[in-house]
Amino acid sequence: MSKKEGPGLPDVNAHLHTPYSFSAFRNVDEALHLAQVEGVKVVGINDFYTTQGYGEWAEGCQKRGLYPLFGIEFISLNEADQLEGLRVNDPANPGRTYLSGKGLTFPFRLEEPYASQLASLQQEANRQVEKMCEKLNELLIDRQIGFVLDLEEIRKKLTHGSLRERHLARALRMKIYEHSGNEESQINAQFSILFGDKRLQSALQDDAGVENEIRAYLLKAGGAAFVPEDPAAFLPMESVCRIIRAAGGIPTYPFLADDPKGGYTDFEGDLEKVAEKLTERGFHSVEFITTRNDLQLLEKYASYLHEQGFVVTFGSEHNTPKMEPIRLFARGGVPLSERLREINYKGACVIAAHQHLVAQGLQGYLDDKGEADRSRRDEYISLGMRLVEIGETEKLTT
């Protein structure tokens, strides 16, 4: 065992959202400051549909001695899975498939037609939320709440360009508090009117809880301000993978894995079969959001996939209002085992090596066809370990 494979190996969080999409963090600096305080050495930005935060992420990491990974997240559609009614990693929508790209080139660059495809996805995602805001304002007028939401003000004060339904929930919570003079009975009365006489269950001080109730009652399917996504908002899975590869990245499948009852989606339930299927679909990298999963079940899945040659990484997302630790844990706050920490670190090292090589115009972990020679994974792990240890990629010659 090398000196970087024992209890002293660095902690990694390879999937963090920032306010450039939506985040628990007020800004990039807060995210990276908390990572530093908690001793997390390797940190990956992974916003929805955007790479706008890369510059701040790189600068903030350099200032704090952290090692940056550059990622992105998409929602794609596999029509064959949809026709079969197969739930992949979205438990409510057959065929809908979340995908990440890991180790994208920094500074970010993307040629046509892929740049236009990415821009179109960003525009479609924003357009859906704009329509939700219109319906929400119609509801506010109909229920005589006494105010409407100003979309441009929301853009200016709460976003960095990407509009998410969570921004609407946050804006509505803040506006109701302000309009009610922070008087508890008035706030509860307004929520009751908006929720159809249902009472707010969260404490008013629980911002995340209140915003989640707003989403559940008003913005999700069945809610008064819900707007279904346009099919144009989803590219086929293969097209998204092409965008990721064109940006220098590694297409990565995010596992939903076990739910609180130990259940899995149709696609993920058979571990050996899903590993084979992912390989057939051209995936050599997977990830888990560890807070969702039971420790033993997470270790079972992650260990098997690692042994099959996949690059395996973990993250926390932080794409809700709730602030949680950046140092990773499994469901219920259970610390990760040393085995899981090692798998995560080795996966992050492959990504670090890949993005370092590609940024220099060299071949990374994937070849020109998007395939990986898994038998060489240890070479990339070794290079990545050196990169993380040095911390300054420009000083390492390959």
Structural contact between residues 163 and 134, judged by C-beta atoms closer than 8 angstroms: no
Q: Can you give the pLDDT at residue 333?
A: 96
Measured CA to CA in angstroms, residue 19 lies from 23, 31, 393 at distances of 5, 10, 26
Q: Count of residues for the chain? A: 398
Provide the H-helix boundaries in 65-113: 79-84
Work out the number of other CB atoms within 10 angstroms of the CB of residue 226: 16
Give the Cα separation of 336 and 181 in Å (integer): 44
Return the CATH number of the domain spanning residue range 11-109+247-395. Answer: 3.20.20.140
Q: What is the domain partition of the chain in residue ranges?
A: 11-109+247-395, 118-219
- At a CB cut-off of 8 Å and minimum separation 6, what does 253 contact? 89, 97, 99, 100, 278, 283, 285, 286, 287
Q: Can you give the pLDDT at residue 391?
A: 76
3-state secondary structure of 46: strand
Q: Which helix (H) or strand (E) holds 70?
A: strand 67-77
User: Of 76, 62, 65, 21, which Cα lies nearest the Cα of 45?
Assistant: 21
* Residue 257 region by backbone torsions, left for phi larger than 0, else alpha for psi between -120 and 50, else beta: left
Q: Can you give the pLDDT at residue 393?
A: 43
Phi, psi of 13 (to 5 degrees): -130, 105
Work out the number of other CB atoms within 10 angstroms of the CB of residue 378: 12
Half-sphere exposure of 131 (CA within 13 A, CB side): 11
pLDDT in single tens digits along all 398 residues of the chain: 334 444 579 999 999 999 999 999 999 999 999 999 999 999 999 999 999 999 999 999 999 999 999 999 999 999 999 999 999 999 988 999 999 999 999 999 999 999 999 999 999 989 999 999 999 999 999 999 999 999 999 999 999 889 999 999 999 999 999 999 989 999 999 999 999 878 999 999 999 999 999 999 999 988 999 998 887 778 999 999 999 999 999 999 999 999 999 999 999 999 999 999 999 999 999 999 999 999 999 999 999 999 999 999 999 999 989 999 999 999 999 999 999 999 999 999 999 999 999 999 999 999 999 999 999 999 999 999 999 998 744 444 33
**366 beta partners:** 372
Provide the H-helix boundaries in 294-367: 295-307, 338-359
Task: Give helix 151-158 / helix 114-142 axis angle, nearest 10°.
Answer: 120
Distance of CA 43 to the CA centre of its chain: 13
pTM of the model: 0.90
Q: Which helix (H) or strand (E) holds 126?
A: helix 114-142
